[in-house]
Chains A and B, each alone.
Chain A
Amino acid sequence: GQQLNQSPQSMFIQEGEDVSMNCTSSSIFNTWLWYKQDPGEGPVLLIALYKAGELTSNGRLTAQFGITRKDSFLNISASIPSDVGIYFCAGPPGNAGNNRKLIWGLGTSLAVNP
């Protein structure tokens, strides 16, 4: 079945640094979603991407839908301590757009040193 590979698995950075993480798939996705999970909480949607090449920002976060439709990346600029958490990419499989069975990456765990 379809899988999403996220890298890096974990990151430990200094406050103020920029962060980049990516998500790749062996097959095409029509939608890419980026979620953040704070410790002890459920995931929260950060950015949704719907078109190949699309670049979308949400504050200090910027995500892009890869042109091949098999990858996406998320950048965080000028990191702050509250950026700590696990970042997941996700997407509905194939062309069905059925969010009932979102495929999830394994997550990138981010730690920020103040």
Chain B
Amino acid sequence: SAVISQKPSRDICQRGTSLTIQCQVDSQVTMMFWYRQQPGQSLTLIATANQGSEATYESGFVIDKFPISRPNLTFSTLTVSNMSPEDSSIYLCSVAVSLEKLFFGSGTQLSVL
């Protein structure tokens, strides 16, 4: 297993601003991911955070809107840029410590006014 610390746990932001979410893992992991969970919905993969190279984004998500950093094997950040109310969601960091098994941080509850 892996212990994942994600912060902030929640934030209320103004339209047009940006928020950076941090994810720290207690061990080195190769695969780290960012998910979005809109209210009452399931999980949607935003991107895979790659160490030493640009993140791999899923369809519908772009780097300008969701820039991701992965400076080492234990840390990653996701920025939600130029926010609008439609970005109000829970954002989750996750890591894969073995095939198919994902472990998640506690999430960041984002509300955009």
- Complex alpha-carbon distance, A97 and B96, angstroms: 13
Interface size class of B (residues with CB under 8 A): 20 to 34
A19 CB–B CB distance under 8 Å: no
Q: How far in angstroms is the closest Cβ of chain A from B6? A: 8
- Asked if B109 is at the interface (CB within 8 A of a chain A CB), the reply is yes
- In angstroms, how far is the closest chain B Cβ from the Cβ of A90? 8
Return chain A residues, CB-CB under 8 Å to B102.
43, 45, 99, 102
**Does A85 reach chain B (CB closer than 8 Å)?**
no
Q: How far is the CA of A107 from the CA of B39 in the complex (A)?
A: 12
Given A40-B109, A42-B105, A100-B48, check contact A105 B100 (CB 8 Å).
no
Contact with A along B56-92 (1 / 0, CB 8 A): 0010000000000000000000000000000000001
State whether A44 touches B104 (Cβ < 8 A). yes
Are B107 and A42 touching (Cβ within 8 A)? yes
Q: Report yes or no: B42 in contact with A107, Cβ–Cβ below 8 A.
A: yes
Residue pair A31, B100 in contact (C-beta under 8 Å) = yes
Contact B41 A106 (CB under 8 A): yes
Q: Mark A72-112, 1 if CB is under 8 A from B, else 0.
A: 00000000000000001001100001011110111100000
A104 touches B42 (CB 8 A): yes
Q: In whole angstroms, how far apart are the Cα atoms of A99 and B48 in the complex?
A: 11
Residues of A within 8 A of B (CB): 31, 33, 40-45, 48, 88, 91-92, 97, 99-102, 104-107
